[in-house]
Amino acid sequence: MTSTTAPLVEQFRFGLAAPICLTWELTYACNLSCVHCLSSSGRRDPGELSTAECKRVIDELERMQVFYVNIGGGEPTVRPDFWELVDYATAHHVGVKFSTNGLRITTEVAAKLAGSDYIDVQISLDGATAEVNDAVRGRGSFNMAMRAMQNLAAAGFAGFKISVVMTRHNVSQLDAFKAIADSFGAQLRITRLRPSGRGADVWDELHPTAGQQRELYDWLVAHGENVLTGDSFFHLAGYGQELPGLNMCGAGRVVCLIDPVGDVYACPFAIHDAFLAGNVRGQGGFAEVWRNSELFADLRRPQSGGACTSCSAFDACQGGCMAAKFFTGLPLDGPDPECVRGFGEAALAAANAGAAPRPAGDHSHRVGPRPGQPSRARQPVPVSIGSRPGHPPVSAGLVAAPASMAAAGPGADRRSVPDRACDQSPLAGFTPSAGLDPPTALTQQAGR
């Protein structure tokens, strides 16, 4: 036993035997029509995986030792077989964390959920007040979510998650969200608004301003240890300090998405043919897609930083979020649209907004496209990911090894804890367990 292994983040770039953080959207059906829905949900897709097909996927996840899945939608609880599938998963050693708007979290359901170690619940809330929340999620949705949380708390379900997408209208409510979470004994989880799904239509109006991004960063520096973020905000590391959480893009490496019809995408924010790796109905099922798809192989090779490589912040932010760039029409090897150095704004100004690729499916309740928005357009888009011959493998050294590495024994890595990989409902979070690792440890801890 000699080799000193690279920091885990470096290991993660090459992909894992199975995802840590797998998001599975069970249905596109939803009782709400949130304006920023990343999967453009609303109506059920007739090609949705059947109960039997879902169980086959679960069997496969058990064999691959995917310890838990993050189930979302749509509103997953509207599937008539939802509880059957949850029970099946937990009976097969696949833990479930599901995201819900609270619709079906009655006192009876809350009591059942509180009794299982294998189930975790995440309630979506995008405003700390009904006014702010309902403007995005629809009238009555705030009260529905609060009622669900009251039921969970009353049933003794400790530590459920409250999941907030950060927008221009709720960054100022961060303390209020934290207070709500604390009042229920819940944990706050915040994620980044992506221009994915219907989010593409509202991103310009809703994404946080540059000033708010700084406010958010400062808040996370002060409070981040107890707040889950997934890999949402690694682009903010460009301000100077790495935030708690996974400071890398996990797409296709530690994270992926299975959509309601079985399509496997690199991440929950990238529902587009350019990021489609395969389908679980194909020969070899999900495992084949995860292990052998060309797209994922490409994502696991060193990536080109392109125009960002010479920026002093690149080691920290790595150019930001692939999906955010893609759906705002920016090149994947350039700055994030919310680049903290301001390069994104310049790039957006130079890009032809009308040429930005549209998200793939649209299951929205509304019929007909929004004015000026061809909602079903599937234009071919040139996409390049991965390195080209002659490009140096830029990922080497992207993340500085923590100081403790130098003195550490084989493979110890205390600080750059990829504590919380991924996002949407995903790996939603590892929480770091403070103070556990002595500098010589060969292990690294994380909770979810």
Binding residues vs another protein (CB under 8 A)? 1, 5-6, 8, 11, 14, 16-18, 20, 65, 67-68, 93, 95, 117-118, 120, 409-413, 430-431, 433, 435-438, 440-448
C-alpha 404: how far from chain center: 29
* CB of residue 115 to another protein, shortest distance in Å: 14
Contact present, 44 and 149 (Cβ < 8 Å)? no
C-alpha 348/C-alpha 35 separation (Å) is 22
* Cα–Cα distance for residue pair 290/277, rounded to 1 Å: 8
Pick from 434, 369, 425, 437: which is nearest to 189 by CA? 425
Nearer to another protein, 42 or 432 (CB): 432
Q: Residues 430, 435, 440, CA angle at the centre, nearest 5°?
A: 100
| Cβ proximity to another protein, 51 vs 433, nearer residue | 433
Nearer to another protein by Cβ, of 88 and 219: the residue is: 88
Question: Going by C-beta distance under 8 Å and a sequence separation of 6 or more, which residues neighbour residue 121?
Answer: 97, 98, 100, 105, 113, 152, 157, 160, 161
- The distance of closest approach from Cβ of residue 404 to another protein in the complex, given in angstroms and rounded to an integer, is 12
Please identify, using beta-carbon distances, which residue of 241 and 443 lies nearer to another protein. Answer: 443
Around Cβ 91, how many Cβ atoms within 10 Å? 11
d(CA 408, CA 438): 9
For residues 151 and 416, which CB has a smaller minimum distance to another protein in the complex? 416
Residue 116 CB, shortest distance to another protein, in Å, is: 10
At 107, which amino acid appears? T
325 or 420, CB closer to another protein?
Answer: 420
- Rounded to whole angstroms, the Cα distance separating 276 from 289 reads 10
Shortest distance, position 2 Cβ to another protein, whole Å? 9
Cβ at position 29, least distance to another protein in Å: 28
Nearer to another protein, 65 or 143 (CB): 65
CB 423 → another protein: shortest distance, Å?
16
Compute the least distance from the CB of residue 189 to another protein, in Å.
14
Tell me how far apart the alpha carbons of residues 146 and 128 are, in angstroms, rounded to a whole number: 10
Q: Which is nearer to another protein, 130 or 401 (CB)?
A: 401
Query: In sequence order, which residues have a C-beta less than 8 Å from that of residue 360 and are 6 or more positions away?
Result: 271, 272, 273, 276, 378
β-strand 263-265 against 68-72: which pairing, if any?
Answer: unpaired
Comparison of 16 and 351: residue with beta carbon closer to another protein: 16
Smallest gap from Cβ 439 to another protein, in A, equals 8
- Minimum CB–partner distance for residue 239 and another protein (Å): 27
CB of 428 to another protein, least distance (A): 11
Q: What is the DSSP letter of 171?
A: G
Is the Cβ–Cβ distance between 69 and 86 less than 8 Å? Answer: no
Q: Edge-to-edge strand order for the sheet containing 161-166?
A: 187-192, 161-166, 119-124, 95-100, 68-72, 21-25, 255-258, 263-265, 276-279
Residue closer to another protein (CB basis): 172 or 443: 443
Max Cα distance, the chain (Å): 63
